[in-house]
A and B are shown apart, each in its own frame.
Chain A
Amino acid sequence: MGLSLVSTVLALATVVASVALISVKLAHRIMLKGRGVRSAHYIAALGEMISRKLLPADIPRRWAADPLFHDAVIEYRHLLSGEEREFVDHLIAEVGIVGVLQRRARWRWPRPVRLRAIAALVELAGSDQVPFLRFLLGDHNDYVRSHAAHGLARLGDVSSIPLILDLATRVRPWEAARLADALAAFDRRAVKPINEWILKHWDGDGSHVETIAQAARVLGLLGETSAETTLIEMLESDRLGWKVAAASALGRIASDTSRGALLKALHDDSWEVRARAVRALASLADGSVAPAIAELLSDSQWWVRQNAAESLGELPGGVAELQRALSSEDRFAADAARNQLAELRMLPAGTETTLAVGSREGSS
């Protein structure tokens, strides 16, 4: 009797669970279908308006509140240039999308709504939204802050650069790196304010050290020679993080002015600096530095030897240095050269290849 009751209850529970699962799946499918239909409707309607450059007076106000409509507008805005892009911007203003997004980006809205709104706002905001985006730099949410920085970069508001760098000094490294990435989205007009910010905080307290290194990375990404003086000073400083960032940045800028400082950095006490400097010198494409780089094939650290071999493979006259190193008494140098020549398919026939691993100091 008891066993039969348990079986009946289990069977009923299974039926109820199955019906509930099917209902949820059905509801989800209907919802997705509804979203797909709505999205296609917006894309078709916007296509009609844009191709005719005609904005109907009776656009439903609810469109301005629908994230799917925002997505469609963003897609068109990314796609178009010229008059049609201007029409999309006119449509954004007329429909009042930015006002809706600004309201939703405020803290009182649920997190998913806020995050979606800020992501759309960054894409659609005009220069009149600069004060609001600056306000969002002070938000409690790191996603909102870094998106606000990207929005300011998209709008090219260079006067926000010191604010973004100041913010980077107060946040965790991950967010500081994202803020630096936002700075890289500015064009070369960002070089001067970044440079000035670095010099202003050069002798400051330790809280700016990491951000200055990030700023140096951005200067390299922007590739502007006017930043070289600052970067060379950083390379010659006694802070490891600055030296590493500056060597990499100078490699990206790849100007002859930095040759002397980079050659000097080949003899730095830190292998991290030597490893970056040797790659940076390769980007100058100047064969006269090949002999100095070849000396690093005998470096105590595998990473430096590897980078030296790679650089020689790229420099004019570098292959001759690699071939010379094949007969070196230093097995580490010979191995690094042999592996690089094999990579370049320039290894003399019958030469044995080996994997140059490990360190003379046993700690690479």
Chain B
Amino acid sequence: MADDAAPVRVLLSRHLRAAGHEVIEVADGMAALRAGSEAGLDLAVIDQLMPGMLGTEIIAAWREDGLEFPVFVLTAIDDDDTVVHSFELGAADYIRKPVNMAELTARINGRLRDK
């Protein structure tokens, strides 16, 4: 779970932990990149605009390293080009803020069940 906004990390990680998942929280792009490479993730939820790296840059770097876990992009950016670019890079979903946390958790659960 990578987002520089603390409320997102606090609330989403609470929902995910309540659903039985183990959650790693990071607040910047470089930490997210490292976590993806080193922690053996099943799924990542990343913000598009973070200090250090853009979400799309992180997805591109993971894919280049052969890391194929699903990535959900969670962002306030409502720009069609960014959405398309995210999916082209292999994002599993693109969710715009404001967000319904229960629905997002259900989507994540569904994706992990399908894996």
Contact = CB atoms under 8 A, between A and B. Distances in A.
Contacts of B7: 43, 46-47, 72, 75-76, 79
Contacts of A84: 11, 100-102
B18 A51 contact: yes
Interface string A39-56: 010011011101100000
Contacts of B99: 79-81
Chain B at the A interface: SS class: helix
Please indicate which of the listed interface residues B6, B18, B76 has the most CB atoms of chain A within 10 Å of its own CB. B6
Chain A at the B interface: SS class: helix
Contacts of B5: 75, 79
A76 B14 CA distance: 14
Contacts of A82: 100, 102-103
A47 B100 contact: no
B10 interface: yes
A51 B103 contact: no
Contacts of B11: 47, 50-51, 76, 79-80, 84
Contacts of A352: none
B14 A47 contact: yes
Nearest to B76: A78
A78 B10 contact: no
Contacts of A76: 7, 11
Given A81-B99, A84-B101, A43 B14 contact: no
A83 B11 CA distance: 14
B76 to A, nearest CB: 8
Contact of A43 (B10, B18, B98, B100): B10
Contacts of A72: 7
A44 B10 CA distance: 7
A134 interface: no
Contacts of A81: 98-100
Given A79-B7, A82-B103, A51 B15 contact: yes
Contacts of A51: 11, 14-15, 18, 101
Given A46-B7, A72-B7, 5 more contacts: A40-B6, A78-B98, A79-B98, A79-B99, A84-B101
Interface of A: 40, 43-44, 46-48, 50-51, 72, 75-76, 78-85
